[in-house]
Amino acid sequence: DTAVSQTPKYLVTQMGNDKSIKCEQNLGHDTMYWYKQDSKKFLKIMFSYNNKELIINETVPNRFSPKSPDKAHLNLHINSLELGDSAVYFCASSLRGTGDAYGYTFGSGTRLTVV
């Protein structure tokens, strides 16, 4: 039973389209995150929600909009996709808050390719 699951695993789409990535965790964790990993493997935090409340909103284009319908779900919607949005997007969760001493649990990633 997957702890943090993301769908889809692969997403190929044309510039200008709108797409969503879904994430669900069954660990009972309080906090969920979206990370972007670029082609050089650099991980950048995008957003974080704690119990459905947005607590981290890094410098991300407002074409990216997260939504957390409940504590176990965090979705990412991207409008007007651009070539530079191509990356791997990871969902993660942690038991408590952002500085959790127990670390994060990551999903397996969504590879987004914009053509």
Q: For residue 81, how far is the Cα from the chain centroid?
A: 16
104 near another protein, rule: CB under 8 A: yes
Q: How far is the CB of 8 from another protein (least distance, A)?
A: 14
Peptide bond into 8 cis (omega under 30): yes
Q: For residue 60, how far is the Cα from the chain centroid?
A: 12
17 near another protein, rule: CB under 8 A: no
3-state helix vs strand vs coil in the chain, percent to 5: 5, 55, 45
Q: Which of 19, 52, 109, 113 binds another protein (CB under 8 A)?
A: 109
Query: Which residue lies nearer to another protein by CB, 15 or 55?
Result: 55
Q: How far is the CB of 33 from another protein (least distance, A)?
A: 8
Question: DSSP label at 97?
Answer: S
60 near another protein, rule: CB under 8 A: no
For residue 52, list its beta bridge partners: none
Q: Residues in the site for another protein, rule: CB under 8 A?
A: 4, 33, 40-43, 45, 48, 56, 90, 92, 97-109
